Amino acid sequence: MSSTIIITVVSLSLLAFMSAVILYFIAQKFKVFEDPRIDEVQAVLPAANCGGCGFAGCRNFAEALVKAENFDGLLCPVGGAVVMGQAAKLLGKEAPVIEPKVAVLICNGSPEFRPHTSKYDGVPDCRIANTLYIGETDCSYGCLGNNDCERACTFDALHMDPLTGLPVITDDKCTSCGNCVKACPRHIIELRKKARKDRKIYVACSNCDKGGPARRACKVACIACSKCVNVCEFNAITIENNLAYIDASKCTFCRKCVTECPTGSILEINFPPRKPKVEAEAENATINP
C-alpha cells in the first residue's frame, strides 16, 4: 500500500522536474524580447482605449511612443500634457507642447430657431439621414439630431438635450479624443482650444448658403454679413464659403463680435453676465470724469 504511494510521488516528481527543465530551455530558445519601457509607458496612459491617438488601443500607442524618434504627431488627447510629459520623462525625450482642446458643436439650430419642415421616420442614424435628404429642417448643414455623436462618446461627455434636440458637451468630461468629430456626418463638431474658465466665443453655425436662404432656414444662422470681421481688432475672424470663423488662437475674448452679430450666431459661453448698458456707461463716467 505504502509502496504505491511512494512510487506515485516519486514518478510524478520526476515528471514535473523533467517538464520544468524542458520548458525552461524552450522558454530560453523562443524568448521574445520586449522593451520593458512599453509596460512602463502603458502604465501612465489613461487605459481608455478610445482610439483618440489614432492607434487601436493604449498598448499600441505605448509601443509607438517607445519606437518613435521624437513625439511629433503622437498625442494622447485624453491624457494631454500631463500624461505626455510623464511618458516623455520615462523615455528621456522632450515633451511636446500641447494645448488642451474641447469639442464644440458648431450649430445652434434648436427647433425654436430652426423650425422643422418635415418629419424623418427612418432609421435613427445621422449617417443614413444624411445620405437621404437635407434633414428635418431647411438647413442642409446643421445638426440632424439622431445621436451618432452621443453613441460615439466613450467618456459620457456628450448627451442630447431633449428640448433643443442638440448634443450638449460637458467640458470637464470631454477629453478631445475626437470620436464625435469623426462620427458626425455633417462635420459640425470642432475641437477648439480650451481657454481659462472654459470660456468660449465661436460662430455656432455651419450653414454655407448665402444670407437669404440661411436666414430663412434658421434664425440664428451666420449670414456672412462681415460685421464681426470689421469689428474685430485682432484679425481673428475670417469669412469663407459664406461662413464666419473665429480663430481661437487669435481671439482675445473681447466679446465685441458677439454684440455686433445681427443674427446672434456668435455665442459666448461661461462669461459673467454683461452689465446693462446704462450702468456700464455710468461706471465709465465715474472712472473717466
Select 49 or 86, whichever has its Cβ closest to other proteins.
Answer: 49
Q: Are 137 and 110 in contact (CB under 8 A)?
A: no
State in angstroms the smallest separation of the CB of 117 from other proteins: 6
State in angstroms the smallest separation of the CB of 246 from other proteins: 26
State in angstroms the smallest separation of the CB of 120 from other proteins: 9
Determine if residue 54 is left, alpha or beta; phi over 0 gives left, psi from -120 to 50 gives alpha, anything else beta. Answer: left
As beta bridge partners, residue 101 has 193
**Residue of 27, 153, 128 lying closest to 78 (CA atoms):** 153
CA distances, 278 to each of 66, 268, 275, 282, 283 (Å):
61, 21, 8, 6, 9
Pairwise CA distance, residues 204 & 113, whole Å: 12
State in angstroms the smallest separation of the CB of 133 from other proteins: 3
Select 121 or 172, whichever has its Cβ closest to other proteins.
Answer: 121
Select 197 or 210, whichever has its Cβ closest to other proteins.
Answer: 210
The residue with cell 477629453 is 175
As beta bridge partners, residue 160 has 167
CA–chain centroid gap for 267, Å, is 19
State in angstroms the smallest separation of the CB of 182 from other proteins: 11
Footprint of other proteins (CB under 8 A): 117-118, 121-123, 125, 127-128, 131-134, 138, 140, 209, 213
Distant-in-sequence contacts of 128-136, Cβ < 8 A, 24+ apart: 130/185, 130/186
State in angstroms the smallest separation of the CB of 158 from other proteins: 19
Select 64 or 134, whichever has its Cβ closest to other proteins.
Answer: 134
Pairwise CA distance, residues 127 & 182, whole Å: 11
Select 139 or 246, whichever has its Cβ closest to other proteins.
Answer: 139
Q: Are 158 and 150 in contact (CB under 8 A)?
A: yes
State in angstroms the smallest separation of the CB of 258 from other proteins: 29
Write phi, then psi, for 192 (nearest 5 degrees): -110, 155
Pairwise CA distance, residues 166 & 128, whole Å: 18
State in angstroms the smallest separation of the CB of 213 from other proteins: 6
Select 122 or 262, whichever has its Cβ closest to other proteins.
Answer: 122
Select 67 or 210, whichever has its Cβ closest to other proteins.
Answer: 210
Select 73 or 122, whichever has its Cβ closest to other proteins.
Answer: 122
